[in-house]
Amino acid sequence: MPSKPPLDATRGWIIPIGGKLFDEAILDRFVTLSGGTDARIAIIPTASSEPDIGTFYERVFLQHGVASTKALNFDDRMDCDDRDWLDWLGNATGIFIAGGNQLKLTTTLGGTPVARLMRARNAAGVPIAGTSAGAAFLSEHMIAFGDEGSTPRAGMVQMCAGLGLTNRIIVDQHFRQRDRLGRLLTALAYNPFAIGLGVDEDTAAFIGSDDVIDVMGSGAVTVVDPTDVQFSSIADAKPGDAITLVGAKVHVLHAGGTFNLETRQATGAASDATFATGS
């Protein structure tokens, strides 16, 4: 379960970004939520195989006017006990998790003081953003890997435990660009408890403490709501078999659209005709 906020705090923003971020407004908003010019941004480049990605994001955040930023290179589990880095992370006002391989995040950070501290800091009000693999890692239930394609099939996706900032969502990234509807539907078929968020590249889903998602960026967030699923064939399907799902709802929301994780209501952008679904 996610860490509980202290009595005098509200949970920080959770911000999955679908990858290939070009929209400066997304980073601007993250910096503003982190304290603006007083922001202290910790960067977690663990997922990346690019040795300079941490330095790259340090430059990016300095260009956005933050007071300080530091890449914390947790390359192996022993690094996760580094007291200086843990102190820096514990005093960060915003945390940004870079992309790459989400299994590097889980196998390196899972169960360590770093993961526990990130959960506690988010519960205490610190916003945490992740792009690409970092986006998938944010939730309790994480897509580790899977196949492309629009049709859900048994065995199409492998799940594992993520960071656990929230148990309300399952995130898939590079969504339309890599044709990942099928694997997100398969993940939800295993247990239709969470809401599926398919986040396109250059797009972010800002999830507030009120559990309302609002969308920013040039693409869309595909919301798959399995609340009213009446039938699923997953239990009897053999590996590779197509899966039947009856009653799942799908919303495609571009910038300005919202979805309430509590009420299951979706709303289009202000420039669109407004609509709502759910009870």
User: Starting from the edge strand earliest in sequence, which strands make up the sheet with 212-217, in order?
Assistant: 68-71, 40-44, 94-97, 128-131, 14-17, 203-207, 212-217, 258-260, 266-267
Which amino acid, residue 61? F
The burial class, CB within 10 Å (0-12 / 13-18 / 19+), for 115 is buried
The letter for the amino acid at 119 is: R
d(CA 163, CA 136) in angstroms, rounded, equals: 9
Residue of 193, 257, 247 whose CA lies nearest to 222: 257
Q: Strand runs (DSSP E) across 18-151, as ranges?
A: 40-44, 68-71, 94-97, 128-131, 141-146
Which among 207, 185, 211 has a CA at the least distance from the CA of 198? 185
The crossing angle, in degrees rounded to 10, of helices 53-63 and 24-33 is 80
Catalytic residues: 132, 174, 201
Q: Is the torsion defined by CA of 61, 62, 64, 68 positive or negative?
A: positive
- For 118, the 3-state DSSP assignment is helix
Q: What does the buried/exposed string (b/e) look like for 219-229 if buried means 16 or more CB atoms within 10 Å of the residue's CB?
A: bbbbbbbbeee
Cβ-based neighbours of 186, under 8 Å, separated by 6 or more: 146, 152, 153, 154, 156, 157, 234, 243
Query: Are the beta carbons of 151 and 183 closer than 8 angstroms?
Result: no
